Amino acid sequence: MTSPILGEISGKGKAAHPGLYLAPFSIQVHSDSADNQIMSIETKAVTRLNGKYLTFNLQAESYGIDVLKVREIIRLTTITSVPQMPPHIRGVINLRGKIIPVMDLRVRFEFASAANTEQTCIIVVQVKLPDGKATQMGLVVDGVEEVINIAENDIEETPSFGGQICTDYIIGIAKVKGLVKTLLDIDGIVCADTLKNIKDMTAAPAVK
């Protein structure tokens, strides 16, 4: 069964080719006065978590990432292993002539391994490298669900699980239609050492 959102996305963005997700966004500049600028910054800080999220399934649980980070969703394809990578980096794929590193979120979250299914896919997202530049990276997930708009009052702060558990990559917990969805910070999921390795990998030209 094919996921209904493969090759399609909600909103005003239009796909440049099948499978590509272009999320709509706009930038507003307020220059009336310094007071106006401060007011805008404070409001943005309060409501920055609300908006559109792509939700996906992993270990029978639902997670969400900012749709503006999503560049593409593709079916699971052949992944080429790369030596000396962390266990959660499965390797790289050649996506239309471009090298894309691929992370297995099951391994990253220390979940039990599971067989791939027809729903298993790769979400291509944009992450920031240590030098501030952006690059693309694939995330292997059990399946994608939908693009949803989450309101500010439906998002709660991440609860404390004790000092031994790191939750830095969890930006909030959303309640949608009676279900709980964990909202993730993509840049926070990828550690600094992994980002450095990704930078080295993506610097090499792809073989067409």
Average pLDDT score over residue span 64-80:
95
Provide the number of structural domains found in the chain: 1
- H or E element that contains 200: helix 192-202
pLDDT > 70: what percent of the chain?
A: 63
> Which domain, by its residues, includes 106?
34-202
pTM: 0.70
- Is the residue at 52 inside a domain? yes
Higher pLDDT, 196 or 7: 196
In a domain, 140, yes or no: yes
pLDDT per residue as tens digits for the range 153-191:
899 887 665 544 455 688 889 998 889 999 998 888 876
State residue 167's pLDDT score. 59
Give the other-Cβ count within 10 Å of 119's Cβ: 18
In a domain, 207, yes or no: no
Residue 18 lies in a domain: no
Q: Is residue 143 in a domain? A: yes
**Alpha-carbon distance 5 to 182, whole Å?**
20
Domain CATH for 94: 2.40.50.180
Q: What percent of the chain has pLDDT over 90?
A: 39
Q: Give a yes or no: residue 13 inside a domain.
A: no
Whether 16 is covered by a domain: the verdict is no
In a domain, 130, yes or no: yes
Q: What is residue 205's predicted lDDT score, i.e. its pLDDT?
A: 53
End-to-end CA distance of the chain: 30
Side chain identity, residue 47: T
